[in-house]
Amino acid sequence: MSDLPHRDLHAVALETIDAAAELLGLEPWLAATLRRPERAVTVEIPYLAADGTVRSVRGYRVQHSTARGPAKGGIRFHPDVTIEEVTGLATLMSIKTALLDLPLGGGKGGVTVDPRGMTDAEVEAITRGYARAIAGVIGPDVDVPAPDVNTGTRHMDWIADEYGHLVGSPTPAVVTGKSLAAGGSLGRDTATAAGCRTVTLRAAKQLGLAADARVAIQGFGNAGAHLARMLAADGLRVVAVSDSRGGVHRPDGLDLAAVAEAKRVHGSVTAFPDADVVTNEELLAVDCEILVPAALEGAIAEREATKVRARLVAEAANGPCTPEADLVLAERDVVVLPDVLASAGGVTVSCFEWQQNRDGSTWSEARVAAELDRRMQGAFDALWDYAAAQRLPLRLAAVALGVQRVAEATRQRHAAPTAAPLAS
């Protein structure tokens, strides 16, 4: 049974490119180029299963664009992974890295496998087999993978180790999201939350929200819990949080340390006694100024959007607002910070890890935090100004700005086709 949303991500990506191409008036050859990946690789990965049989799974690596730098994007292990899904995600990554003005392009990878129930030895064999199969098309100057669904630090360590054996020398810059011992970066575990914090505070200031504005966060996992703590430290009042079992709401603010302890001991924030228990859907409608969907894709659909009471929605999760919800929120003058910006802290610190590995340096946690804050502020300011100048909602402005940057780099890289002179 799949736990990934059933969306045609390739179709979404193509619609995104087409909308931006039309808005920007891109030349037909350039728009067509951006609709197709530069490279798509399909591989077979044989491995020794725990029962002693040899089995095989299929893997993919897609590089949508390297016009601005090496491709960048995660590797997911999931039974529903397809070449179309990976291609769509790679396309969207090109836009994301361009919006953040990172010296990277867009890529994505995946293996069609369900790792649940597998032994560690099986998972490691598949990971190393995948690394060997795609080794010829990745590298610090070509394509730099990272963790994604059902992959993490150990998978990246395995890939870096396998790649180093293949090329004959340690090459930590081939992937990011590694353990600190293997060349990972400080600040990576809080990167998504820290990036979202920066742009949320920036947007709140632009909208004139109070310094103690109320915040509701759907999702109390890694990103949501860290973000709640950060925003509370900034003086905002976190009045509601939730996890997969439900949420808690207290109008004058939650004791986040006690909420976290309740979740640690009992497995859910709903065990926190000093607040009203709410459903995840009810949390979206609590009275607050800032709403942060940090959990599920598609969590705010048209019906939920009609009930949102916040003035600002910051998408810490990927795709939490549906297109229909976007229209409703726009009609109600709710500002949406799109996920391509609000959740970009992770890829930004991944870029920092890659840079550290390339020059053999180690940044302090303070430097990582300062560089991330600077990069996120710059991206927000550029997007806010562009949206205002073009009179566009932030999501469409983000797509247009990202595609514009990729298109310009692609245009510089390739001479536009010209018609041959007619024979006399």
Do residues 395 and 338 lie in contact, with contact meaning Cβ atoms separated by under 8 Å? yes
Using DSSP bridges, classify how beta strands 237-243 and 214-218 pair: parallel, antiparallel or unpaired.
parallel
**Backbone torsions φ then ψ of 88, nearest 5 degrees:** -60, -45
Are 34 and 65 in contact by the 8 Å Cβ rule? The answer is yes
Rounded CA-CA distance 275/271 in Å is: 9
Q: How far apart are CA 150 and CA 117, in angstroms?
A: 12
* Contact in structure between 308 and 329 (CB atoms under 8 Å): yes
Place of tokens 């909308």: 19
Residue 227, CA atoms < 13 Å, CB-side half-sphere:
36
310 CA to centre of own chain: 23
- Strand order in 143-147's β-sheet? 39-48, 54-65, 106-112, 71-78, 143-147
Conformation bin of residue 192: beta by default, left when phi > 0, alpha when psi is -120 to 50: alpha
Distance CA 315, CA 336 (A): 7
3-state secondary structure of 337: strand
CB 238 within 8 A of CB 253: yes
> Hey, which residues does 147 pair with through a beta bridge?
75
Q: Is 178 left (phi over 0), alpha (psi -120 to 50) or beta?
A: beta
Could you tell me the two tokens for 320?
Answer: 């939490």
Catalytic positions: 108
